[in-house]
Copies of this chain bind each other. A is one copy, B any other.
């Protein structure tokens, strides 16, 4: 039997780690892109399989692709566990659980039926795209948008909360107004669903008011929804504008504060002239 010296193994494992978990080396980049291709392929196969005419015609090809994907993911999962520095942490992490759940159904399917619905978990693997995005020129943009949204989250939550109370009140009102004559508004949850469909201006049309009073209330909800979309838009827009202003991130040579606006000449914390402005004014 072949014997591998432990220090060689350790080195090999370290290398594996940098390929699988890091994205800033050429090999790591290639691995991530290869993985992305397999994930996209698995989502495509799941989509095609769900089309009954297709799945009947290409039953064998689908089976083969399914097991190819499962084997790929299984090997990747095994390597990830093997090479990760803290195995427990990886296995119990968000991505670790998704990685495990995305291979489980195929094996379970050998023994029991009805596991095809776990397909949705495989699509969750698409979230890895965000990690791979970090390789690209989109990294800054991603981080910028994520920060702008996070900073305005509190305000948006207040807004969503307001919308929730509104749709409950308006949904109840419409149940009272339309419920008797229009079986579409047969109960309050459906009426609230309708209110959300209306206030967000989606407007499926599966549930619509038929009484004049109901249509007048609807008109009010629509105008409300049309006008108050201004609120989240205003929140995020102002946040993006303010964030953009600060992008330069000059660091004060005296006190180290780095939160200066683009047109700042002196440090706002200690009054020292900022390094890159010394010669300009």
Contact = CB atoms under 8 A, between A and B. Distances in A.
Contacts of A190: 215
A168 B43 contact: yes
Interface in A185-231: 186-190, 192-193, 196-206, 208, 212, 215-216, 218-219, 222-223, 225-227, 229-231
Contacts of A208: 204, 206
A15 interface: no
Contacts of A206: 205, 208
A268 B257 contact: no
Nearest to A142: B158
Contacts of A176: 117, 119-120
Interface of A: 43, 46-47, 50-52, 117, 119-120, 123-124, 126-127, 129-130, 133, 137-138, 141-142, 144-145, 148-149, 154-161, 163, 165, 168-169, 172-173, 175-176, 179, 186-190, 192-193, 196-206, 208, 212, 215-216, 218-219, 222-223, 225-227, 229-242, 244, 251, 253, 255-261, 263-273, 280-281
23 contacts: A47-B188, A51-B186, A123-B168, A126-B168, A133-B161, A138-B157, A159-B227, A196-B219, A196-B223, A199-B226, A200-B226, A201-B202, A202-B222, A205-B206, A229-B232, A255-B270, A261-B261, A263-B268, A265-B268, A265-B269, A266-B266, A266-B270, A271-B273
Given A149-B231, A198-B202, A199-B226, 6 more contacts: A50-B189, A156-B227, A205-B205, A206-B208, A255-B269, A259-B261
